[in-house]
């Protein structure tokens, strides 16, 4: 295993309580501050100052762009899945966690290469097995795909969209699922387990099939080969990285972080960090893209 030697620098300053969901969309970084319900962007304009695009009155876990509708998003928010207009007005497609036995919110989410939006949920109190993974099809229908997990994070996809990676952060496990053409799991295996402290959080797959994982609580990013071998560790100057985004043009890994739960001087917690890497990944896929 290699220890990555390039230092992590502040790429965009910020004091976000729970930055998450980093995605590269139309030449800019898009991400959320979950508990504040904020959607933010950072443009490469020299200053790289975060700008609020919209704000919800419920937690905002993650978004993906909507195909052919600039400024519109599909979102994992509150207790369900919504379409968002540029002014932040939600059109709810479904709220599957609205009447859960314990208070539960939506968490991380991403579109696969087939234009389907996948998002996980998590109980506020950490009740074991109360989290689920949902798939939203281009027709707007929402389906529970996996259950029995606790804090559902990730999801990330291989280039063809037929391999799904999803983390159960509370268990420290990253699962890999094979999918059929309709997006239903046909197999599931333990891909990797984080054992050296911390929990797997946001993830992305690069163009060579390697999985990059933010490790919450341990202040590192892990990189795994397609066979599940941990082949690189990237140390960070803050303990709570939350998500990772590889810039399509190459050369940069962007990492959102959080200050949630930290006390005293929090340093760079809440900023977006950047590390020089030799890797690329596609820009964020759009919901409903053909």
- Which residues are catalytic, by number? 201
Cα separation of 32 and 86, whole Å? Answer: 15
Cα separation of 252 and 264, whole Å? Answer: 30
Tokens of 16: 């976000």
Alpha carbon separation from 149 to 53, 128, 129, 157, 216 (Å, rounded): 32, 7, 4, 19, 17
Collapsing DSSP to helix, strand or coil, 169 comes out as helix
Q: Which residues of 236-246 are buried (b: 16+ CB within 10 A; e: fewer)?
A: bebbbbbbbbb
Alpha carbon separation from 162 to 14, 62, 65, 200, 242 (Å, rounded): 36, 21, 21, 21, 25
In the chain the first and final C-alpha atoms are separated, in Å, by 39
Cα separation of 150 and 214, whole Å? Answer: 18
Collapsing DSSP to helix, strand or coil, 170 comes out as helix
Cβ–Cβ under 8 Å, residues 272 and 31:
yes
Query: Which residue in this structure is represented by tokens 């420290």?
Result: 172
């Amino acid at each position: 295993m290699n220890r990555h030697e390039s230092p992590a620098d502040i790429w965009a300053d910020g004091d976000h309580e729970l930055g998450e969901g980093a995605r590269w969309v139309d030449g800019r970084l898009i991400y959320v501050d979950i508990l504040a319900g904020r959607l933010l962007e950072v443009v490469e304009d020299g200053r790289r100052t975060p700008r609020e695009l919209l704000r919800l009155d419920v937690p905002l876990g993650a978004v993906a762009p909507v195909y052919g509708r600039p400024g519109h998003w599909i979102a994992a928010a509150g207790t369900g899945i919504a379409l968002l207009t540029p002014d932040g007005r939600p059109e709810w497609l479904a709220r599957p966690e609205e009447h859960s036995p314990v208070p539960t919110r939506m968490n991380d989410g991403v579109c696969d290469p087939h234009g389907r939006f996948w998002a996980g949920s998590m109980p506020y109190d950490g009740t074991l097995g109360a989290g689920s993974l949902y798939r939203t099809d281009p027709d707007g229908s929402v389906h529970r795909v996996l259950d029995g997990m606790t804090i559902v994070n990730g999801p990330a996809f291989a280039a063809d969209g037929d391999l799904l990676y999803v983390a159960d952060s509370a268990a420290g496990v990253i699962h890999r699922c094979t999918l059929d053409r309709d997006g239903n799991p046909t197999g599931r295996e333990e891909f990797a387990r984080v054992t050296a402290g911390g929990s797997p959080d946001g993830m992305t797959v690069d163009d060579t099939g390697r999985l990059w994982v933010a490790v919450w609580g341990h202040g590192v990013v892990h990189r795994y080969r397609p066979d599940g071998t941990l082949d690189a560790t990237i140390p960070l100057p803050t303990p709570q990285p939350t998500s990772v985004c590889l810039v399509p043009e190459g050369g940069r890994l962007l990492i959102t972080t959080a200050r949630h739960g930290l006390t005293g001087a929090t340093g760079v917690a809440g900023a977006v960090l950047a590390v020089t890497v030799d890797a690329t990944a596609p820009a964020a896929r759009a919901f409903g893209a053909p």
